[in-house]
Amino acid sequence: MSRWKVFCNVDLSLNKDALKELEKVANVIYFPATQETLLDNIIDFDAYYASAFVEMNKEVLDNAKKLKVIATPGTGTDHIDIVEARKNGIDVLDIAEERELLKGFTATAELAWALLLSCIRKLPAAFDCAKQGYWARERFTGYQLNGKTLGLLGLGRLGTMMAGYGNGFGMKVLGCDLEEKNIAGVEQIALDELLAKSDVTSIHIHLTEENRGFVSNELLKKMKPGVVIINTSRGAIIDEDALIKNLESGYVGAAGLDVIHGEWDKNIYDHPLIKYARTHDNLVITPHIAGATVESIIGARVFLAKKLADYIREKNPGY
């Protein structure tokens, strides 16, 4: 068997030794993370170490004639057309079920909490004014979290971390999950009751075909008026047009988003949520940085490189 070729467009500048194990079993070639580069070059490769900033769509997969496996160092796979990949006999590796590894990654929950604080204390707008020497103290009157109710959609790893933060800030914490959970300081209740009671609703569910657009206009109207919505999961979980309308009307008091649908679009400057945020103070957006800490980036990328190396050893035993 010949030595496999791995197409890598993941930035490994934080740990140049991340691919050490992988390089023992394959020829790894690094490319910049652009759609055109992936489309033009993937035809020659057996494996793809995937950047989340580039879409592995049908067009690319149709051009990936030799591809056997895609490895992505994250828990989400919405940048990969999984159905099409499987149709083509291509395996997909990620870290979504690597529970021991993920236990040590607190970055996403911490960023979700930062978004919440940014929303209720209007920090981005206040900072913009302070930089201009405009000391408008009472213009930025916010709310304290103590005594408020935090509603968590999803009580997995990140929802559980958020529950701990909520308890620490003196909040009443409600949770909703498909499974019965026993988490200290969390009252698990039905979805409609949680929505009606929560001052803050934070989303911690995985994107599936079934819950695409789950946070619809109908669901938003079940929420408490003035609710703050936090989403560090995936943009497509929310009906973004409905969110904008409810932010404009004030029914949704504020939203903090680390993810939006269409993050790979070249004209993201004109994305409706980005446009709205430029002229309104009640929407805070960060560019999908929740997992972007040194610890989580290095940990995930090194782990996934080893996982891909093990996969290649199994499928290509001569190397």
Q: Which amino acid is at 143?
A: Y
Exactly one of 79, 234, 261, 271 is catalytic; name it: 234
The residue ranking higher by pLDDT, 145 or 209, is 145
Q: Answer yes or no: 313 catalytic.
A: no
**Residue 150: its H or E element:** strand 149-153
Percent of the chain with pLDDT over 90: 86
pLDDT digit string, tens, across residues 239-284: 999 999 999 999 999 999 999 998 888 889 999 999 999 999 999 9
Average pLDDT over residues 149-175: 97
Angle at 75 between CA 73 and CA 81, to 5 degrees: 85
Q: Say how far apart CA 233 and CA 253 lie, in whole Å.
A: 20
What architecture is the 4-99+295-315 domain classified under in CATH?
Answer: 3-Layer(aba) Sandwich (3.40)
Domain 4-99+295-315 identical in fold to domain 106-285: yes
In this predicted structure, what is the pLDDT of residue 156? Answer: 94
Cβ atoms of 289 and 260 closer than 8 Å: no
Q: What is the DSSP string of 252-282?
A: EEEEEES--TTTT-TTGGG-HHHHHHHH-SS
Is the CATH number 3.40.1190.10 carried by domain 106-285? no
- Sign, CA dihedral 296-236-196-141, equals positive
Cβ atoms of 47 and 66 closer than 8 Å: no
Report whether pLDDT(127) > 70.
yes
Q: Answer yes or no: 97 catalytic.
A: no
In this predicted structure, what is the pLDDT of residue 11? Answer: 86
- Sign, CA dihedral 26-29-35-39, equals negative
> Binning pLDDT at 50, 70 and 90, where does residue 194 land?
very high
Exactly one of 121, 157, 263, 313 is catalytic; name it: 263
With a CB cutoff of 8 Å and minimum separation 6, the contacts of 124 are 118, 281, 284
Exactly one of 204, 261, 271, 288 is catalytic; name it: 288
Report whether pLDDT(184) > 90.
yes
Give the number of residues written for the chain: 319
pLDDT digit string, tens, across residues 59-94: 999 999 999 999 999 888 889 999 999 999 999 999
Structure-block tokens of residue 256? 């903090």
Closest among 48, 81, 66, 53 to 292, alpha carbons compared:
53
In this structure, the strands spanning 149-153 and 172-176 are parallel
Mean pLDDT of the chain: 94
Domain boundaries, the chain: 4-99+295-315, 106-285
Percent of the chain with pLDDT over 70: 99
pLDDT digit string, tens, across residues 295-311: 999 999 999 999 999 99
In this predicted structure, what is the pLDDT of residue 1? Answer: 64
In this predicted structure, what is the pLDDT of residue 189? Answer: 98
pLDDT digit string, tens, across residues 212-237: 999 999 999 999 999 999 999 999 99
User: In 3-state terms, what secondary structure has residue 193?
Assistant: helix
Map tokens 């039905």 to a residue. Answer: 190
Q: Answer yes or no: 263 catalytic.
A: yes
Closest among 17, 88, 59, 298 to 70, alpha carbons compared:
88
Residue 234's alpha-carbon distances to 75, 127, 212, 230, 231, in angstroms, are 11, 27, 9, 11, 7
